[in-house]
Amino acid sequence: MSSAPEPRDLLVSADPAREFWAAHESGQRIALRTSGTTAAPRVVVRTTASWIDSFEAVTQLTRMTDTSMVWIPGPPAATMNLFARVHASFAGATLAAEAQQATHAVLTPLGLRRALADDGWGDGVTTVVAGDALPPSLVTQARERGVLLHHYYGASELSFVAWGSGGQGLMPFPGVECRVDEDGVIWARSGYLSDGYLGGRSGPLRRHEDGFATVGDRGSLVDGALVVHGRGEEGITTAGVTVVVADVEAVLRRVARGAVLVVGLPDPRLGEVVTAVVTEPSDLEPVQVAASALTPAQRPRRWEVVREI
């Protein structure tokens, strides 16, 4: 009996959308790289149907057509951008090389702030924001500029969980059931969930026997709207990228004699900044060298030495 084909890595090509549709036609699952060390990245595996089944809803919500020009300036390595590129191809839209060409845009909150720094950008541009919390002040600024704003909450492992338009609250995305448990952990059940991690690797994804899944993020449900309080203890969101703390700590601890702790500290531009804390002053140099093996998003930007953790 032949084994199932290996999942297809969409980033092996300069045209990830073409790779996606090739995987779909051949019945292959797709492999999405997420937070992980350079040597052993964590890879999420999912069926192409788990994305395709959400395309029509996204198309309707954003009113994207085959005449749309979609600006996606972020790297395709980020799942939100990879999905956006594939969805644009589904809608028959064209990728815009520059912001001024765009009828649609997909941005992180930081990306939106940067785009709004251009006084000539925004009026009438349908903009989907994801990757981090959307500050109320940024919502106001976007509205005043005439941006048609949407934002969503999700994860590489879960895909869409909740969607909001016009800066309003996040409601469960079409086809998604949401619940928040007694510990404040957000769970979702839908046809958009991934199959887990390549090779059975461990990660933040957890499943319940009733079909609900979580990555440990915290929140609450208020009158049916999902309020996301923050990433789970294992995650730091910096510039729209989720960094898994355990992956960073594992690399740094290999060369440290004392204790090592990685935390996210608030930052007005990045949301959070990855910060490494060590207890032995002599560990500072070797762990900084070890950090060069991490991805750019994972590398600590701040370093602290304390007596005890």
Residue 35 confidence (pLDDT): 54
Burial class of residue 45 (count of CB atoms within 10 Å of its CB; 0-12, 13-18, 19+): middle
**160 and 278 within one domain:** no
**Domain-embedded: residue 277:** yes
Query: Do residues 127 and 105 make contact, with C-beta atoms less than 8 angstroms apart?
Result: yes
**161 and 35 within one domain:** yes
**248 and 163 within one domain:** no
**Domain-embedded: residue 231:** no
Confidence band of 2 (pLDDT split at 50, 70, 90)? low
pLDDT-wise least confident of 51-55, 66-70, 263-267: 263-267
pLDDT at 59 over 70: yes
Which residues face 303 on adjacent strands? 276
Residue 37 confidence (pLDDT): 41
Domain with residue 17: its CATH number is: 3.40.50.12780
**26 and 168 within one domain:** yes
**168 and 32 within one domain:** yes
Residue 38 confidence (pLDDT): 42
Residue 286 confidence (pLDDT): 95
Confidence band of 233 (pLDDT split at 50, 70, 90)? low
Query: Do residues 54 and 173 make contact, with C-beta atoms less than 8 angstroms apart?
Result: yes
**261 and 165 within one domain:** no
Query: Do residues 252 and 221 make contact, with C-beta atoms less than 8 angstroms apart?
Result: no
pLDDT at 53 over 80: yes
Q: For the chain, what is the domain count?
A: 2
Domain hosting 241: range is 237-305
**Domain-embedded: residue 220:** no
Residue 56 confidence (pLDDT): 99
Q: Which two tokens stand for residue 102?
A: 């765009």
> Residue 183: which residues within 8 A CB-CB, separation 6 or more?
none
Query: Do residues 114 and 239 make contact, with C-beta atoms less than 8 angstroms apart?
Result: no
Residue 62 confidence (pLDDT): 98
Residue 4 confidence (pLDDT): 72
| pTM of the full structure | 0.78
**Domain-embedded: residue 223:** no
**Residue range 265-276, pLDDT digits in tens:** 988 888 899 999
Q: Which range scores top for mean pLDDT: 26-40, 122-136, 206-220, 256-270?
A: 206-220
What would the mean pLDDT of 97-115 be, rounded to a whole number? 94
> Is the dihedral angle over the CA atoms 34, 216, 152, 134 positive or is it negative?
negative
What would the mean pLDDT of 210-223 be, rounded to a whole number? 92
**169 and 45 within one domain:** yes
Residue 243 confidence (pLDDT): 85
Share the mean pLDDT of the chain. Answer: 91
What would the mean pLDDT of 204-231 be, rounded to a whole number? 90
**Domain-embedded: residue 227:** no
**Domain-embedded: residue 96:** yes
Q: Which two tokens stand for residue 171?
A: 């409601």
**21 and 166 within one domain:** yes
Strands ordered across the beta sheet of 126-129: 94-95, 69-71, 104-107, 126-129, 148-155, 159-165, 171-172
Residue 231 confidence (pLDDT): 63
Which residues face 236 on adjacent strands? 243
Residue that wins the pLDDT comparison between 257 and 125? 125
pLDDT at 260 over 80: yes
Residue 228 confidence (pLDDT): 86
**Domain-embedded: residue 26:** yes
What would the mean pLDDT of 98-119 be, rounded to a whole number? 94
**127 and 21 within one domain:** yes
**Token pair 């997420």 in the structure block, residue:** 34
**156 and 23 within one domain:** yes
**Residue range 169-212, pLDDT digits in tens:** 999 999 999 999 998 899 999 999 999 999 888 888 999 999 99
**273 and 149 within one domain:** no
**41 and 139 within one domain:** yes
Residue that wins the pLDDT comparison between 246 and 119? 119
pLDDT at 230 over 70: no
Q: Which two tokens stand for residue 53?
A: 């089944």
Cα gap 168→49, rounded to integer Å? 29
**Domain-embedded: residue 179:** no
Domain with residue 291: its CATH number is: 3.30.300.30
pLDDT-wise least confident of 37-46, 72-81, 102-111: 37-46
